[in-house]
Amino acid sequence: MSAPVSILTPEQVAHFHAQGYVVVPDLLTAEETQAFVHHTPEGAFGLQGHRHDPQYRYLATHPKAAGGARQILQGRPRIVQTMYLDKPPRGGKGIALHQDSHYLPNEPNTLMACWLALSDTGPDNGGLCVVPGSHLQGLRSAHRTRNEADHVSWVNDHLMRDRDGREWTQTMYSFEIDDLDPAEIVRLTVPCGAGVFFSGMVIHGSFANESADRPRRAFAVHYVHEDTWLFRADVQETMLVEE
């Protein structure tokens, strides 16, 4: 496994902290993106593909993805979950504008993501959207998404566990931020091989892919600092990215 390296400039790190995200070009080569898109997964593994599938693990521990996370977190990152986000053309649905800390409560809150574009992505094919600076406003109130034409909608119960072993059940759903001004939303253009590092507190999401023939493919990996506690029991067994 390659050791993570520092790949973000001081200006990129400053942009992340000020705006809650930063777009970084050339995190992956064309060969790396194609290797993932064309491989055959070794089974169904939910949010833990990095534990079971070598291509998932390759991207999650990639020196540029994990290296950027290490710079931002100022310490060793742990992988919480991984997702392949393959959104087909002609209406493939997105995820409503939310904050990841609604889904993955953690303490201290170090949650962040690296979103890797595995195809050219933009406003016309359901690309990533962000609300710059929203990570500085705290955890916003939210409701279950109502726009099911653009967004998936679901409800799940999750077992939660604190550091002392106390357990409870918490209902989660497809969160959508209350009273969000559409004018605040920035629709990003992220070319294939580039990526977006963003805070678990920044508001982000995506809309349906309305293009006729352009799939929107991305891979997302969520990290926390190695000393962070995650409350959701199903993701507490994190994977440390070795140096």
Model confidence over 44-65: pLDDT tens digits? 788 999 999 999 999 999 999 9
Handedness of CA 44, 42, 33, 28 (dihedral sign): positive
58 contacts 116 by C-beta, under 8 angstroms: no
Mean pLDDT of the chain: 95
Mean pLDDT for the stretch of residues 33-52: 90
| R_g of the chain computed on alpha carbons | 17
pTM of the model: 0.96
User: What is the CATH class of 10-240?
Assistant: mainly beta
Report which residue type is found at 38.
Answer: H
Residues 126, 128, 129: CA angle, nearest 5 degrees: 105
Instruction: Report residue 42: phi and psi, to 5°.
Output: -90, 20
pLDDT at 4: 47
